[in-house]
Structure 1
Amino acid sequence: DGEVIIKEHIWFSQKGHISILPEFLYSLLNDSGFSMKDIDLIAVSIGPGSFTGLRIGLGFAKGICFVHKKPIKGVSSLKVLAGGLYLNSRIYPVLDAKRGFVYGGCYSWKEGMLMREFEDRLFLPEEFSRIAEDGILLGDGVKRFEQVFSSNKKIAEFPFLYPLAHNLCALAIMDYEREGEDDLFSLTPCYIAPPPIPAEKISELQSVLK
């Protein structure tokens, strides 16, 4: 009914996503006493994040939807992270993008809906710290660049480090009810930045972003 969390499984893995996902999905269903026929909507985080993880996760979700004829709704990983807080202020989710950068966004709650203030994008930590001075920060990017963000007055700490499934589902239901399902074949990951670049190119990219 979109109101109760039946079961949530959280794990951290650097590899093996494609072999783990089917096992976890059917384990969750079996443990909860449900099957795929009981599922009304597939929610999937579309990034930004790990290029390989996003591709595998979205591909798996699409496969489930295609086989079982289920609607799909993609939600920004940063929006999912921001959805963990329900506050009357700007919320700045920030995720570690590796190689000295962060993925950052800005969201706020308006009439029960979590709205995006500006497009998710790639930032230097110092740049995003200045932008986020008027709101609350959360995410593993804050922990990764703790010294940079230490001057920010409002920081939500654990468990607000990572996008969580129950927030993803809640936001996907809201967006689905307002916008309808996403097109199964045109839904793509939100990479924001190109794949990892050589270290010698970092300084060049940093000069462009300043």
Structure 2
Amino acid sequence: MSIILNIETATKNCSVSLAKGGKTIICEEIATENFSHAEKLHVFIDAILEKTNLTFKNINAVAVSQGPGSYTGLRIGVSSAKGLCYALGLPMIAIDTLELLARRIKIENGIIIPMIDARRMEVYTSFFDKNHLKIRETKAEIIDESTYNEINDTMHLVGDGALKFKETLTTANFIFYDEVVYPSANEMSALSFEKYKKSDFVDVAYFEPFYLKDFVLNK
């Protein structure tokens, strides 16, 4: 049965899980305002291996959250995943960050709209149906009072980007999930296993995170 190491660092949440056959064995994560990825990521990896009495030799693949999200967070996660894959000769799997966030809730009807804070009045977002299938492409979108006025369906909003606009999007068909703030490596387990079974791997040498927007250095 395949064992996959899952790494999620696209937001302020530094999250690592170990999964067997698509089921999470253990997940370690922490969300801090100052981004603790550089300090915590490899500590978490070592910790979950120690707690499960496994070693890197037991791992069959490494999965990484591909974005969109924080430029720095994505670079750290992808660089770490690449390093492990190179060193261990393992395949690498890339997972859509917004899908991970959408999968944190289950709905009976309506649309799931995960939102990752992209600073100022902008979010990274996409639409998913009740089965977590993407039904609108990923965008960097400016949010105001008129956003999604054309949609009559119930909209389920998750993520730190959604919480930022809770007082802006106030019509009755918006439902907010305050407890779902960041994507987690826990939701990566089933997705990475499905890709592993299909040999849906990315090229370790050439893979780059999905930044969506160009990085701008604030001076």
TM-score (norm 1): 0.82
Runs of at least 4 residues off by over 4 Å = none
> For residues 150 and 205 of structure 2, what CA distance do their matches in structure 1 show?
35
- The equivalent residue for 1:6 is 25
- Residue 91 of structure 1 corresponds to 112
Q: Is the 8 A contact 1:83 1:171 kept in 2?
A: no
Aligned runs of 1:1-210 on 2, under 5 Å? 1-13=20-32, 14-89=34-109, 90-108=111-129, 114-126=132-144, 128-130=147-149, 134=153, 135-151=155-171, 153-178=173-198, 180-196=200-216
Query: Quick one: structure 1 residues 106 and 175, their matched pair in 2 at CA, closer, same or farther if it must change by over 3 Å?
Result: farther
One-letter amino acid matched to 2:136: F
1:118 deviates by: 2.0
Which residue of structure 2 lines up, in the alignment, with residue 207 of structure 1? none
Aligned length: 196
Matching residue's letter, 1:105: S
Q: 1:5 Cα deviation (Å)?
A: 2.1
Residues 89-142 of structure 1 show CA distances to partners (whole Å, capped at 9, x for unaligned) of: 4321111111221111012355xxx42212211001226544665232211112
Deviation of 1:67 (Å) = 0.5
| 1:178 to partner: Cα distance | 3.8
CA contact (8 A) 1:62 1:72 kept: yes
Distance 2:186 2:95 in 1: 12
Answer whether contact 1:92 1:106 (CA < 8 A) is retained. Answer: yes
The structure-2 alpha-carbon separation of the partners of 1:88 and 1:117, relative to structure 1 and needing over 3 Å to count, comes to same
The AA in structure 2 aligned to 1:12 is: A
**Counterpart residue identity of residue 2, structure 1:** G
- Decide which structure has greater helix share: 1
Q: Which amino acid aligns with 2:66?
A: I
Higher share in strand:
2
**What residue ranges of structure 1 are gaps of 5+ in the alignment?**
199-210
Decide whether aligned partners of structure 1 residues 175 and 157 sit closer, same or farther in structure 2, where only a CA change above 3 A counts.
same
Deviations 1:125-160 (A, max 9, x none): 226544665232211112111111232524241432
Query: How many Å separate the matches in 1 of 2:204 and 2:150?
Result: 35
Q: Distance in 1 between matches of 2:113 and 2:36?
A: 31
Task: Work out whether residues 116 and 161 of structure 2, in 8 Å CA contact, stay in contact via their aligned partners in 1.
Answer: yes
1:197 shift after superposition = 7.3
Indicate how the Cα distance of structure 1 residues 131 and 178 shifts in structure 2: closer, same or farther if over 3 A, else same.
Answer: farther
Report % sequence identity.
27
Specify the alignment match of 1:208 in structure 2.
none
Output the aligned Cα RMSD.
2.4
Give the secondary-structure state (helix, strand or coil) at the position aligned to 2:133: strand
- Alignment partners' CA distance in 1, 2:70 and 2:150: 24
